[in-house]
Amino acid sequence: QFGSFAGQLGDGAAMYLGEVLGPRGERWEIQLKGAGLTPFSRRADGRKVLRSSIREFLCSEAMFHLGIPTTRAGTCVTSDSKVIRDIFYDGNPKSERCTVVLRIASTFIRFGSFEIFKPTDEYTGRKGPSVNRNDIRIQMLDYVISTFYPEIQEAYSDNSIQRNAAFFKEITKRTARLVAEWQCVGFCHGVLNTDNMSIVGLTIDYGPFGFMDRYDPEHICNGSDNTGRYAYNKQPEICKWNLGKLAEALVPELPLEISELILEEEYDAEFEKHYLQKMRKKLGLIQLELEEDSKLVSELLETMHLTGGDFTNIFYLLSLFSVDLDSSKLEDFLEKLTSQCASVEELKVAFKPQMDPRQLSMMLMLAQSNPQLFALFGTKANINKELERIEQFSKLQQLTAADLLGRNKRHWKEWLEKYRVRLQKEIESVSDADAWNTDHVQVMNSNNPKYILRNYIAQNAIEAAENGDFSEVRNVLKLLENPFQESEGFREVKEDAEEEGATASAAACAQETRSRLPYCSKPPLWASELCVT
């Protein structure tokens, strides 16, 4: 967990109820999360609260409807029982409602499940509870491969090393494709520990996740990830690192020299291939696969970064761009694009220095005079990031809204010209430009969601639920079940009249405090204050 061996998976809040075989032979494991004490709860109470349970419930369904492999949420049940939680670990605990989520997946076995055999760790001194029990490791591998990779079991039934190598190759490729899908919708998991990596390549364990709003490659969604280990741009390499830990855990049933070679040969290539395939679809490049496409994607993301563009909404708007836009229509399109870029006020919030100047001065002195002591308190990367914030914040004080708009339009005009040239090559390679354009727009609209579970949308639903009104959770769920559609008509989802009457007044105060934005809007300024740990 966060790079150190913890010795035990998770906080012991899951209860495994059993499994169901569906009519077509599909297998579903059923779990309760947050139902109370288990033998593995350590000093915790085995409970989960309404806030985190709603987030897990909504996000697992959102990911499914985005077409991303994930565990599912069957139900979310809350009660009047309360527990005390220190949400931000700052000494300000509050009372919260207990809530139970019913989780469903083909299996909840994780990479970390195989680390129960780990011998004493040289850094932490901890060891797995089943060290030296290779018989159990063999049983687990037999179960996982025969149950979830039956084609591999059948192909290599007489050679366990080859079978295990084929299994490791497949989970390597699945994991690479999964994280590529995350990157393409701006999803940050937040806690990519080995116990949050599925052995069948699913998104699993929704905690301090977040969908990125303003594009920032170094975006950190987890407020307690102080070093940025699980930042958006680190996810591909962290998932590869976790696969390396799985490889270590499979020894001696799969020798490390075999698994390490598989990891080096397969992971990066599969990630890059899948990522570029998905990005081509998001840009509507459906006819040709050119080497220059990778550069076009990189330059798009750089333009988003320079202009503070909203990741989801910029991609969604691009389907409106056409190679034959005249100058007035191009100007209209630029207005639309720049409206999805960060304002001066939003940038000031984003780049506001986070350290007291005296603290920063002390850290800089310490880094020079006593690097070993400094390493206990911070990293050079963190200090450099703070210095960058100070510089950016200082520049923003002189920047007017008009200057920012002009600068953003220039950046986008430059990139759109490159995009236009690339689209022209598509058109020149087909005999029917109209048919191509229809397909081009359709592919873009089915790969660029209009609706994602933004933190502010989840927060509005949570606050209403904490006041007794669950209708907003239902509204948001209905919306996320159709992430690519055009309609805003999901606002009213009627509850049973009896329940609605009982909860309406309780929810009024929470809902009226913030003006309602369309669900596809980039976040309001207050959303920047949200912190998820």
- Determine the straight-line distance between the first and last CA of the chain, rounded to whole angstroms: 15
Coil, strand or helix at 378: coil
Cα–Cα nearest to 245, from 116, 374, 155: 116
Q: Count of alpha carbons within 13 Å of 190, Cβ hemisphere only?
A: 17
Tokens standing for 226?
Answer: 């102080």
Confidence of residue 486 (pLDDT cuts 50, 70, 90): low
**Buried b / exposed e along 384-404 (16+ C-beta atoms within 10 A):** eebeebbeebeebeeeeeeeb
Q: Report pLDDT for 495.
A: 43
Residue in this structure with the two tokens 């520990």, named with its chain if needed: 193
Structure letter (DSSP) for residue 130: T
What is the C-alpha to C-alpha distance for residues 204 and 108, in angstroms, rounded to an integer? 8
Q: Report pLDDT for 514.
A: 58
Q: What is the mean pLDDT of residues 248-272?
A: 98
188 touches 212 (CB < 8 A): yes
Contacts of 306 (CB under 8 A, 6+ apart): 408, 411
Confidence of residue 379 (pLDDT cuts 50, 70, 90): confident
Contacts of 325 (CB under 8 A, 6+ apart): 333
Confidence of residue 151 (pLDDT cuts 50, 70, 90): very high
Q: What is the mean pLDDT of residues 462-487?
A: 92
* pLDDT tens-digit map of 103-148: 999 999 999 999 999 999 888 999 999 999 999 999 999 999 999 9
* pLDDT tens-digit map of 428-473: 999 999 999 999 999 999 999 999 999 999 999 999 999 999 999 9
What is the C-alpha to C-alpha distance for residues 80 and 305, in angstroms, rounded to an integer? 45
Q: Report pLDDT for 357.
A: 86
Structure letter (DSSP) for residue 89: S
Q: What is the mean pLDDT of residues 258-283?
A: 98
Phi, psi of 17 (to 5 degrees): -90, -25
**Out of 61-65, 217-221, 282-286, 527-531, least confident range:** 527-531
What is the C-alpha to C-alpha distance for residues 386 and 383, in angstroms, rounded to an integer? 5
288 touches 429 (CB < 8 A): yes
* pLDDT tens-digit map of 34-76: 999 999 888 889 999 999 999 999 999 999 999 999 999 999 9
Tokens standing for 388?
Answer: 């960058």
CA angle in degrees (0–180, nearest 5) for 72-74-75: 135
Alpha helices in 19-107 (DSSP H): 50-65
Give the percent of the chain with pLDDT over 90: 76
Q: Report pLDDT for 361.
A: 87
Q: What is the mean pLDDT of residues 406-417?
A: 97
Q: Report pLDDT for 7.
A: 83
What is the C-alpha to C-alpha distance for residues 43 and 50, in angstroms, rounded to an integer? 20
Pairing mode of beta strands 27-33, 14-21 = antiparallel
Residue 497 has pLDDT above 60, yes or no: no
Question: How far is CA 83 from its chain centroid?
Answer: 28
Confidence of residue 264 (pLDDT cuts 50, 70, 90): very high
Q: Count of alpha carbons within 13 Å of 259, Cβ hemisphere only?
A: 24
Q: Report pLDDT for 214.
A: 96
What is the C-alpha to C-alpha distance for residues 43 and 60, in angstroms, rounded to an integer? 28
Q: Count of alpha carbons within 13 Å of 161, Cβ hemisphere only?
A: 8
Give the percent of the chain with pLDDT over 70: 94
% helix / strand / coil in the chain, to the nearest 5? 55, 10, 35
- 195 carries an active-site annotation: yes
Q: Report pLDDT for 515.
A: 58
Q: What is the DSSP string of 250-309?
A: HTTTS-HHHHHHHHHHHHHHHHHHHHHHHHHHHTT--S---TTHHHHHHHHHHHHHHHTB
Residue 320 has pLDDT above 90, yes or no: yes
Pairing mode of beta strands 72-85, 187-188 = unpaired
What is the rounded average pLDDT for all residues in the chain?
A: 91
Catalytic residue among 90, 158, 195, 293: 195
What is the C-alpha to C-alpha distance for residues 466 and 310, in angstroms, rounded to an integer? 29
- In sequence order, the β-bridge partners of residue 20 are 28
